[in-house]
Amino acid sequence: MAHRLDVVTAVPTPFTASGELDRPAARRLYQLITGTTGSMLVAGTTGEFPSLDDSERLALFEVALEVAGPDRVIAHVGAPDVRHARRLTASAVAAGARRLAAITPYYLPARPEEVTAYFREVARAAAGTELYAYVFPERTGVKVTPDQLAALAADCGLAGAKLSGSASGRDQLREFSASAPAGFRVFTGRDDELPFAAEVGVAGVVAGLSSAFPELYVRLAGALADGDTAEAASCQEAVKRLYAAGRNIALLKYALSLRGIIGPTARMTAGVVTEESAAATATLVTELAPAA
């Protein structure tokens, strides 16, 4: 039996129609994920974290920890500056979080030594927990090379990293995996490339699409681990259909609303649900999601 990828669901943040945090919907979503993929990244990019104030992020962490427990929740505490990230980290740890992720500093350029200083401070506030770096050059303007990440891991005691955007390209994923120190867990943000991730041997995937279709991702990860090529190919074809329909946050929320889990409201510019994409998504929900 091959290595089984750890599927971590990047969960969207539920809002009411008026744009307020919807805690009951968050609980329903977290219960769905706990019963399927099992693990979740809370208040990440898919969770529209730049639109959340600190009390809202903490409230999401608390609900997720209550529903899933600390081993199954990765609380995202990243911020543009170290002071803010350190404060969020301390609050998350006080709430019981034991697995944390922090995106690199963003908006203003950050030199390698500034990125290192940032993660040193976050790691101090996160002492005794698992801390993952979150690398997403297109959203942050900050690039981290494989050698820099390896140095960060050693310097700051990082448990692993989530790689998104250009950092998760096939060549880059191989390079990051090859340069990672022993025990360092690499996660790809490419939720359409589980077969390649399994081939490279990374720890897992942080998948936004699995928030609306977690059952599909569990099947795919299981088929890859079991060497069931027919089932893996069937699941991967379904993933390709999801990508063809669209993979923005608005469509994820639309799919979840069709499942009766959360509403479709987003705070940020989260994409558009067209008549065509809505119809395609509705078909996929009917085919791929178990009936309530």
Has residue 174 been placed in a domain? yes
* 236 belongs to a structural domain: no
Q: Give me 100's structure tokens.
A: 């944390």
pLDDT of residue 88: 98
* Lookup result for tokens 């867990």: 185
Overall number of domains in the chain: 1
Residue 3 pLDDT? 82
Segment-wise mean pLDDT, segments of 10 residues, the chain, 292 residues? 88 97 98 97 98 98 98 98 98 98 96 97 97 97 96 96 97 95 95 95 96 97 97 96 90 97 95 92 93 65
Q: Is residue 210 part of a domain?
A: yes
Query: pLDDT at position 292, please?
Result: 59
Burial class of residue 51, CB neighbours in 10 A (0-12, 13-18, 19+) = middle
Domain of residue 48: give its range: 6-228
Tell me whether residue 172 is in a domain: yes
pLDDT of residue 1: 60
Give the pair of three-digit tokens for residue 97: 């979080």
pLDDT attached to residue 246: 84
Residue type, 219: R
Confirm whether 124 is domain-assigned: yes
Residue 257 in any domain: the answer is no
| Domain at 115, CATH number | 3.20.20.70
10 Å Cβ neighbour count for 287?
A: 11
In a domain, 237, yes or no: no
Output the pLDDT for position 218. 97
259 in any annotated domain: no
Q: Name the phi and psi angles at 95, rounded to 5.
A: -80, -10
Give the rounded distance of the alpha carbon of 241 from its chain centre.
20
Which parts of the chain are beta strand (E)?
A: 6-10, 39-42, 73-76, 99-103, 130-135, 160-163, 185-188, 204-207
